[in-house]
Amino acid sequence: MNERVHQAITQEQQMQREVTRSVEHDVQVHLVNSFTRDNSGGNPAGVILNPPELSVAQKIAIARQVGFSETAFVYVGEDTDFKVDFFTPEGEVDFCGHATVAVFFTLASLDRLAPGHYTQETKAGILSVAVSPHSVVMDQALPVTRQGPDIDDVAVALGVPPEVITGTGLPIAVVSTGLPDILIPVQPGQLDLLQPDYEAIANLSRKFDAIGFHVFELSHQTSITAHCRNFAPLYGIDEESATGSASGALGCYLVNHLLPGKTHFLLEQGRAMGCSSLIQVTIDTQEQRISRVRVGGQAIMVGTKTVKHPFL
């Protein structure tokens, strides 16, 4: 294990003990907005460094108290620098991109990590993370792709005519670079007009073993590749403003279906929520096959919050 990491977590463990002595059974949560755009927007995540021993049910209860789409529980890793568990208010997920950015940005902001490369153990595998003074960039798993739902069913769930999807000439697909999402193209100008039926989206997500819908339209702006919206009501998230895992999957999708020679993508998400965010994606290829997936962005610290240790 990286000695700097051990020292960082040891310091945080001592802090948690001191908090516990003064306010019994409280847990400190760092609040971070990830994938910000010019220090605004972004997607909030909670970060708990070296928490006390907790059951799955207790972690879910804490995630509900935090109230964000995801909360990360960070431990010292055995064969990695960190072990990170990710929880929504409804349950555990294997991986979370914006919470990963939040974890490493928190440690760097607290001067407990120097710029460099680190590893984290997640239920999606062991992944590398690069920390710089201005951003956090994570490696994601290589893409796994399978067939998506019928266009008519998806169109009904999104409240649009099927032609809004078929007019793109692109397929609906389930793609995972750590978490599976249903990727859905729509024609330019249609993204903000969606009328999502959250129950229908949850049912299709469950049927296709996916987290949710990641809907995108190609951008007319030269710097931005696509604008996106993400709906994950199956996990208690009607819509979120930046989704790192789905962004990695979308980068792979674009390389495979539309932009085979492109390696760098800038994705915007959250516009319809009034919380525009920017996510950077880099896809490396070797012999026309995807060999590496990286997703990164900036973040800002919002503050801290104290939540009660749940007795379950």
Rounded Cα gap, residues 282 and 267, in angstroms: 11
Count of CA atoms in the C-beta half-sphere (13 A) of 286 = 4
Rounded Cα gap, residues 160 and 89, in angstroms: 29
Rounded Cα gap, residues 304 and 149, in angstroms: 41
Q: Is 70 a catalytic residue?
A: yes
> Considering only CA atoms, which of 237, 196, 295 is closest in space to residue 88?
237
Tokens of 68: 């964000």
Tokens of 123: 């239920």
Tokens of 192: 């903000």
Tokens of 262: 């492109």
Task: Choose, from 18, 24, 70, 163, the residue flagged as catalytic.
Answer: 70
Which residues are marked as active site? 70
